[in-house]
Amino acid sequence: MNQLVDGEWRTDTYESTNEDGEFERQSTTFRNEIEDDPDAEFPAEAGRYHLYVCYACPWAHRTLLVRALKGLEDAITVDYVDPYRGEDGWQFTPEKEGCTPDSVNGFDYLREAYVAADPDATCRVTVPVLWDKKQDTVVNNESAEIIRMLDTEMDSVAERDVDLYPEGYQEEVDRIIEDIYEPINNGVYRAGFATSQEAYDQAIDDLFGALDHWDEVLEDQRYLAGDRLTEADICMYTTLVRFDQVYHTHFMCNVRQIQQYDNLWPYLRDLFQTPGVAGTVNMDHIKEHYYTTHPDVTPSRIVARGPDLDFEAPHDRDDLPGEPPEDLLALA
Amino acid sequence: MNQLVDGEWRTDTYESTNEDGEFERQSTTFRNEIEDDPDAEFPAEAGRYHLYVCYACPWAHRTLLVRALKGLEDAITVDYVDPYRGEDGWQFTPEKEGCTPDSVNGFDYLREAYVAADPDATCRVTVPVLWDKKQDTVVNNESAEIIRMLDTEMDSVAERDVDLYPEGYQEEVDRIIEDIYEPINNGVYRAGFATSQEAYDQAIDDLFGALDHWDEVLEDQRYLAGDRLTEADICMYTTLVRFDQVYHTHFMCNVRQIQQYDNLWPYLRDLFQTPGVAGTVNMDHIKEHYYTTHPDVTPSRIVARGPDLDFEAPHDRDDLPGEPPEDLLALA
């Protein structure tokens, strides 16, 4: 695996699995915060911040979703890297459909942004990256923290009154985000990158145990935290929307497909059909990234055809308690 | 890939794909015939012939099915190789569950049987192998021909009156066996072993086009050739029963699962529940073989969990024209 070591690019530095064959995700590095306070180091400000993302990445996808739902498109600019990640890591290939140049710094590789922010950076180079165009540095590259900032600290520059971390739900939202991370969001990676049967089996047990649980929960309520669309749904969504196309086959998460679940599948369609969401999904980039980027998993780098899923089919979840934020309904 | 060259075992001799990345199956070598004629070179005779098979292999599975349906278990003995096929090719590992020693020749590797039959053999070493214990040689290793012999030439030693190549159906059976071979039986391998996107895409188009076609055909008739269980069903069955567990994920045949087909899935259960069939299916061997034997496809050699399929669920196809042979119904 490749990463930066003291600001130098290295391609032979660490194993992504431990001696038991279990995938171990390295923690992210930049953990500063945008604040709704003009005197803060990183104050909320329209036009100041920028996102580097890849359409394919579920963690980056979270930030695109919150940006779209809250109407932060004008306030926060965004560039899209190539879905294929090779020896040089995430790369800008503007000639490719759906990709952009680095419109802020003109970099060819995302790692250059990391080194610009910290010349001695020792870390993996991941998306999303939240960049401060004023101080020319990385604010944060941890998706859960970025969506919280976008959600709670940038209302002053957001076009819509959409609160994904509402009063009275916050404890529950935090709990759910934590609960689904290890078995579901990271669970598909633990299954796909496992190098021992035991590690894979444990990941599969955890993953489908959790999916089965949440399928039951969603029988009686429209959203994970109840009747309100929250950040918890954002975090669940980016894994579910990739599931049948890539995690099921490429990562061998093949006990069930999401389309076989009585409630998770309509829930996924409900979210997909929420105004703003569909535009953040680039299934071509998702498929290209996974199948071509992990030769240890799919050596042929052939992109699997995958099932033909109809995300636009009626979901019939309007009768359950809860509806999308009014400002979003107005867009429908 | 490994094979015999002039009777010597080689592991670096040929590519299984051509320059376009298309999988090309080599033809089989031994093509003699058992005949229902005491003066033939290989006459039908109880206790004289032996099958070397692997439970995992769909081609070998055909021979186990015809042997079981016709009641040839006492007339034809059988040994089971290890589902894992490594550098040394198919191997006898009697200590492993479901495997046997070579009870005829005491060989450790199946290739020894090939060399015993032909000291200068130049060929792949495949299952099934039909062995003549009297002349100490291989009769035939082409599955379609072996099942035809077992079906039509060995009634004198078969326990049951089961005819899978009945008068009036023969042309149709031959046509179907040929029609389904390239897109379906071999099609899953063409998809899984493709090394170019184009070759994979073509294989997937062919495979699902054919599955969709036969699903329609089976809407109105119980079996592929109409109202009679025939060799055509045997040939279809061994691919279908492996599909959702291995071909869908391991070979990336993931447009649909068989369990999503309105007619193929009940048809598969109908065949599975036909007396004699279930005992020929060893899903553990099937899964172990595919996931662990092709590191170019699944480098981790981790066996995917797979869907929990209920082959015993009611199939409701009794109302369609046709029923299993009377001699088999008597066993139910």
The yes-or-no answer on residue B253 being catalytic is no
The third-level CATH classification (topology) of the domain covering A170-329 is Glutathione S-transferase Yfyf (Class Pi); Chain A, domain 2 (1.20.1050)
Is the Cβ pair B197, A303 closer than 8 Å? yes
Q: Render pLDDT for B143-161 as a digit per residue (tens, 0 to 9).
A: 999 999 999 999 999 999 9
Residues in chain B closer than 8 A to A252 (CB atoms): 249, 298, 302, 304-305
Q: Which of A201, A247, A249 to mutate to test the interface with B (most CBs of B within 10 A)?
A: A249
Contact B254 A304 (CB under 8 A): yes
Q: A170-329: same fold as A3-157?
A: no
Q: Which of B49, B114, B169, B189 is catalytic?
A: B189
pLDDT of residue A12: 79
Domain ranges for chain B: 3-157, 170-329
> Could you say which of B197, B298, B307 has the minimum Cβ distance to residue A302?
B197
Regions of chain A where pLDDT drops below 70 = 13-14
- Give the Å distances, CA to CA, from B136 to B3, B50, B131, B164, B169: 21, 10, 7, 29, 35
Positions of A marked active-site: 57, 189
Residue B1 near residue B88, CB atoms below 8 Å: no
Question: Residue B121's pLDDT is what?
Answer: 93
Contact assessment for residue B194 and residue A302, using Cβ atoms and an 8 Å cutoff: yes
pLDDT of residue A14: 67
Instruction: Determine the CATH number of domain A3-157.
Output: 3.40.30.10
The Cα–Cα gap between A59 and B72 comes to 59
Which chain B residues are closer than 8 Å to A200 by Cβ? 300, 302
Alpha carbon of A156 to those of A46, A49, B135: distances in Å?
A: 9, 14, 90
**Alpha carbon distance B309, B13 (integer Å):** 39
Residue B14 has a pLDDT of 66
Each residue's pLDDT, cut to its tens digit, for chain B (332 residues) gives 789 999 999 987 667 889 999 999 888 889 999 999 999 999 999 999 999 999 999 999 999 999 999 999 999 999 999 999 999 999 999 999 999 999 999 999 999 999 999 999 999 999 999 999 999 999 999 999 999 999 999 999 999 999 999 999 999 999 999 999 999 999 999 999 999 999 999 999 999 999 999 999 999 999 999 999 999 999 999 999 999 999 999 999 999 999 999 999 999 999 999 999 999 999 999 999 999 999 899 999 999 999 999 999 999 999 999 989 999 988 87
| Chain A hits for B302, Cβ within 8 Å | 194-197, 200, 252
The 10s digit of each residue's pLDDT in B217-256 is: 999 999 999 999 999 999 999 999 999 999 999 999 999 9
The pLDDT of residue A301 is 94
Kindly list the residues from chain A whose CB atom is less than 8 angstroms away from the CB atom of residue B298. Answer: 252
Are A236 and A224 in contact by the 8 Å Cβ rule? The answer is yes
For residue B202, the chain A residue with the least C-alpha distance is A305
pTM for the model: 0.95
Q: What is the pLDDT of residue B330?
A: 86
Listed residue (A50, A54, A118) closest to A91, CA to CA: A54
ipTM for this model? 0.94
pLDDT at A331 (0 to 100) = 85
Q: Mind telling me how many Å the CA of B290 is from chain A's nearest CA?
A: 13
DSSP symbols for B113-171: HHHHH-TT--B---S-EEEETTTTEEEE--HHHHHHHHHHT-GGG-SS---SS-TTTHH
Residues comprising chain B, all counted = 332
Q: Report the residue of B305, B308, B309, B310 to disrupt the A interface, i.e. the one with the largest count of A CBs within 10 Å.
A: B305
pLDDT tens digits along B304-315: 999 999 999 999
